[in-house]
Amino acid sequence: MIYLERSSPALLCPHPNPLYGYCYQDSEDIPDTLTTITELGAPVEMIQLLQTSWEDRFRICLSLGRLLHHLAHSPLGSVTLLDFRPRQFVLVDGELKVTDLDDARVEETPCTSSTDCILEFPARNFTLPCSAQGWCEGMNEKRNLYNAYRFFFTYLLPHSAPPSLRPLLDSIVNATGELTWGVDETLAQLEKVLHLYRSGQYLQNATARSRAEYQRLPGSAIPQEDYRCWPSYHHGSCLLSVFNVAEAVDICESHAQCQAFVVTNQTTWTGRQLVFFKMGWSHMVPDPNKTTYVRASG
């Protein structure tokens, strides 16, 4: 679903990720107007997001990184969002979209020296260089980036992430918190995390552990025998995404109550399979869309 909003002077060209826009000759003969067409999504509730899977939280941060990249390289110049808070965004199919452009600004801050280029936030300030052309270098971009850090990255990126990805995620959080990276490098590192996670390369450096034997039972499922784990895609059971069966075995081995798991034909946005982890297999039923693995006795 979409809704229309009359906004102030044209700031952004149409882009498939952050928003849809359409410029036209206004019949009311009002100059410098833009009608933005933005998707209707769910409000951003940070407490709820903290209870979701890391994979879904990373998707939000990745979509935010792509949005910031678009704002930094818009046809009209670098765009900053002066009112950068979670309530200015919505979630559409798991991705972050901006919905309020009233406080967007294109112009960089003029300066005569770096003392005119102080970027102020509640917790700390940054001093940026003043260019030879008399503009504070990268102030719009850096304002967006630090707001992304303090409202989103610091809460959503590191927690419950795969251990082998934590050093890279921590470097993203630290670099955006210190503004040592720009938007381009931040997005490049987020895309690197996506590649490592989607390809399964993040598992290559995982410590090999002795695995129990599991019997494969295709075309079967375990309707009950659930237990809860966190984070899970289902509040009443332990439903996680895995890259392959070997990762599912490792997860089951790490849960004291796990005795079996059921691989479904459902996948997440990265193509990973969803798996139910079970505390037993006393009652099994036929299901052509699932494969059950049970721990071998002995």
Q: Is 56 a catalytic residue?
A: no
Three-class secondary structure assignment of the chain: CEEEEEECCCCCCCECCCEEEECCCCCCCCCCCEEEEEECCEECCHHHHCCCCHHHHHHHHHHHHHHHHHHHCECCECCEECCCCHHHEEEECCEEEECCCCCEECCCCECCCHHHCEEECCCCEEECCECCCCEECCHHHHHHHHHHHHHHHHHHCCCCCCHHHHHHHHHHHHHHHHCCCCHHHHHHHHHHHHHHHHHCHHHCCCCCCCCCCEEEEEEEECCCCECCCCCCCCCCCEEEEECCHHHHHHHHHHCCCCCEEEEEEEECCCCCEEEEEECCCCCCEEEEEEEEEEECCC
Q: CA geometry: angle at 148 spanning 145 and 197, to 5°? A: 100
Burial 60-96 (b: 16+ CB within 10 A, else e): bbbbbbbbbbbbbebeeebbbbeebeeebbbbbebbb
Which of these is catalytic: 26, 83, 93, 184?
Answer: 83
Nearest to 60 by CA among 48, 73, 71, 49: 49
Residue 116 identity: D
Q: Which positions are catalytic?
A: 83
